[in-house]
Each structure stands twice: as C-alpha cells, then as structure tokens.
Amino acid sequence: MASQGKRQKTVVVGAGPVGALAALYAAQRDHDVEIYELRSDLRDPSTTPLNFSRSINLALSERGINAMRNSGQPDLIEKVLGETIAMRGRMIHGKSSSGEFTEQSQDYDVHGGALHAVDRGGLNKTLLDELETMPNVKFFFNHKLTGADFKNRKAWFEISHSESSKDTTGTRAREVEIEFDLMIGADGAHSAARYHLMKYARLDYEQTYIDTLWCEFSIEAKELKAGQDPASRFAISPNHLHIWPGKEFMFIAIPSSDGSFTCTLFLPSSHIATLENDPSTIPSFFDTYFPGVTSLIAPETLIHSFKSNPHLPLISIKCQPYHYGSSVVIIGDAAHAMVPFYGQGMNAGLEDVNVLFSILDSHTLPSSTLNASARAKALSAYSAYRQPDAHAINELALQNYTEMRASVISPLYKARKWLEEGLSVWLPGLGWRTKYSRVSFGNERYAEVVSSDDRQARLLLVVLGSVGVGAVGILGAGVWGLLAARRGRSVLDVVRIREVFGWLSG
C-alpha cells in the first residue's frame, strides 16, 4: 500500500472515455495514475470492441463538454469538438398519403443548442494521447481484473494476449498483484470492479434487459468529384440525427466526419426472430416502416448487414452505493448503465468524473491526499449525491425511447414542445424550458430536471382543468401573437395557431 509521504496512487480500471477522463483528473491532481484495460490499446484499429461492433455512435452534449472543460487541459475540448459534427435537431422521415417521402426537421433547442456527433474511437484516442504526455501516468493493456481486496487495497490482474504473458507452466495467463490507494472502476456495464465491490459493500443491484435488440447498418459516403463541396459527401443532412419512427421500433442515422452515417435498427426480439427466419423480407420490411432507407442503403447491403452484424441486447443497470470505504468507487456504465435513447450514457459518465473529483477536492486538502478518512467521507458523499441523478437519467432514457419511436409524430408532443419553447424565449422570467433542453443543454442535476418538468406538466394540467381546453388555444394564440410581434409581423398567423392547437378542439 502507498505510504505517507508519497503521492496518492490511483488505479483506473477501464480505458474508455470515462476511465480516461478520470485518469486525466487524477493525474492533474498529481496522483500516480495507473490505467488497466482488458483489451489491447484502444487506439489500435485492430483492437476488437467488446461487443464486436463499432458501437452505437455517441452524441456529446453539454454535460460531457463541461466535464472535459474542467479537466485542467485547456486545449482538450477544442481538440475534441474539432472532430465532431454539430446536430441541431432531429430529422423525422416518413411518407405522405400520396406516397412521397417526407422529411420534417425538429430543432432540439429554441436557443440554438446542438448535440455533437462524435466517433467513440476518435474521442478515446484524443483522451489517451493526452494522458500519454503526462509523466505520472502508466498504461497496462491486456490486463483483466480477477480479484480485489478493498480492505487492504490490493488487486490482481491477469495478463493476456501473448505467449510471453503465460505463467511458468505455459498453460494459463500470468497474474500480477498491485497495491493502490484508490481504485476507480470505469469498466462498463459488465464491470469486474463492481463485481468485486459487491463482496465488500452492501450493494443493492438491479439489472433489466428491455425487449429490444439493436443491429448496426451504414449509409456510405458519396464519392466526391473534383471541385465539389466536401459536404456533398453526405447522402442526407449531416446536421441532424435522422429518425424513421415505427411506433414500436425505429431506425436512426448519425453522421460521421468521413461523410458516412452509422445507423442503428432498434427492434423487438420477436420481429428480429421473424427477419432472421427469412432475411429476404428485410428490404420490404424497411420499405413498409422506414420509407426511403432502401434508396440510401442497397437492399442486398441491408440483408448482408443484418446477417453479419450481431443483434445485441440493451441493458439498464441501477445500483447503490457506488463505493466502499476509502478504497474504491465505480462510475459510468459500471454504476448506472442505461439504454441509449437520451444520448446521455457517456455524458453522464463524464459528468460523474467532474462531480466525483469536485467532492474529493472539497473533502481532501492537497497536503493530505493520502488521508484515508477524508477520502472515505468524500466517497460516501459522492454515492449519496449522485445516486438520485443516476437513477433519474436511467428512467428518462427508458422513457425517451417512446418519444423517439412514436411521440415525435404526435400532435400533442409537438404542441407542448412548441408552447414551452415559446414561453422560454418570450417569458424567460418563468424559467420554463423543455425537459430535453434541461437534460442536454445544461448542467442542472438530472433529479432536478425531473422535478422541474413535473411542475411544468402539473401547471399545464391546472390550466386545462381550470379554464378548459379552449383556453390553451387562447394561450397559444397569445404566445404566438407575442412571437409574431417580436419578429415584426403585422398579422397574426391564424393558420399556424389552428395547425398547432386544432387537435385540442377536435
């Protein structure tokens, strides 16, 4: 174990984006940092992802950006954002009654907020490259956590990958023992750190699989001709997250910087089984439920991707507490894996890092970084503080699947969004914001977002119940009139009011 007079030794298990950022925060605080990763160097293109897929593309939002902004590396966020594509909203694809393909843009935020499509591998490389420049950081790839003694702060790792890593018998991988002051487990939904933590902490644990599988597809970049704008590589708008809603399922596409789109099919297991039994029906299935996709992805390519790419489950995990004593804490998916429908999994994990080290800083003086008692109090405070927020975003992510696959085409959803955005712009004193805006474009605690949204919903219901449905139309007309006046319009757009509120009066 590290002794007094030496720098704190912090061990991070998991070298993904969350683990890498945690290592960066620890290194900035002058800890001796060691990063242990089950896989080979994640910057090596030959390294196989754990799920044998490129993974669902990531959307970086304010919480993740803020966590990197506070990392102590001034140029980091500029490097990261320089490799992203801004998505200002959703593009909803469908088909009109006349059979024509339709596209409807829905901005995420009336104030101009945007998500940033980011390549997971590129983000990981940027963070690991940053760490590699720091003299107090060491990497240990191909190291699998096999045991931990959190009372005596020891851990055991099995070294894999090469013949030279075998033990003296030549039959099994060699195991090494390490000592540490603090272990940060950032090793994903199937966390080994969490597994060993369960042996020490009285940890409540809940794991749920939803009845939806996902499969990856791709829209390839178009070939550029001499003199063409590089933006011409994109087959569809690069500044949107594209959704083909199917009510019970959906197909999405997220842009990549090379002009392609990473696409994901989310489908109940029974539908997957039907398509597996007869893959030749896949193009007709897409034509029925996801109009226009077969003009972007050739039917034979759709079939090949469906047959060759894995059909993977979606897991939701809640647990508490996240720590034991002064020696270990879990963050990111290891603590609160969630379904991907709010785009907050990585962002919540990066925010974990910022929150964790803010609390550690407030409890531990720089001159006493090895004070185990102070660190134990800090980790306990972190667990208590973070758990309500982690559980809240976990539930929000589940709820947002309904919004993405069905509600985005609902008049009720569109009317409430339009009304709330109008109130937030022209009556800012009310503090009114959409739930999505609070989650994705601010740093308000997730649990407080839920409370604020519930208050707003209750207020709308009170208005409806007290003065009748027609009053909402009048309120909408008033807001729209104010909007029109502010925009310099001389005539109230009655057609627009009827379009948005006509559903209320039947």
Q: Are 277 and 298 in contact (CB under 8 A)?
A: no
pLDDT tens-digit series, residues 110-122? 889 999 999 999 9
Q: Residue 500: which H helix or E strand, with range?
A: helix 494-501
**Neighbour-count burial for 384-416, b at 16+ CB within 10 Å, e otherwise:** eebbebbbbbbebbbebbebbbbbbeeeeebbb
Averaged over 316-334, what is the pLDDT? 98
CA angle, 265 as apex, 409 and 446 as ends, to 5°?
Answer: 65
What band does 168 get if pLDDT is binned at 50, 70 and 90? low
- Strand pairing report for 154-159 and 174-179: antiparallel
Instruction: Single out the residue of 270, 297, 273 nearest to residue 286, CA to CA.
Output: 297
Strands 115-118, 58-60: pairing is: antiparallel
DSSP at 408: G
Both tokens of residue 203?
């940890």
**Distance between CA 214 and CA 208 in Å, rounded?**
16
What are the two backbone dihedrals, phi and then psi, of residue 382, each rounded to the nearest 5 degrees?
-65, -50
Q: Say what percent of the chain tops pLDDT 70.
A: 85
Residue written as token pair 């937030």: 424
**CA dihedral for 139, 325, 69, 83, sign (positive or negative):** positive
More confident residue, 504 or 249: 249
- pLDDT tens-digit readout, 43-102: 887 776 655 455 557 999 999 999 999 999 989 999 999 999 999 999 999 999 999 999
Q: How many Å separate Cα 328 from the centre of its chain?
A: 24
Residue-level pLDDT at 122? 92
Of 24-33, 173-182, 386-395, 400-409, the one with minimum mean pLDDT is 400-409
Residues 258, 233: Cα–Cα separation, whole Å:
8
Start-to-end Cα distance in the chain: 72
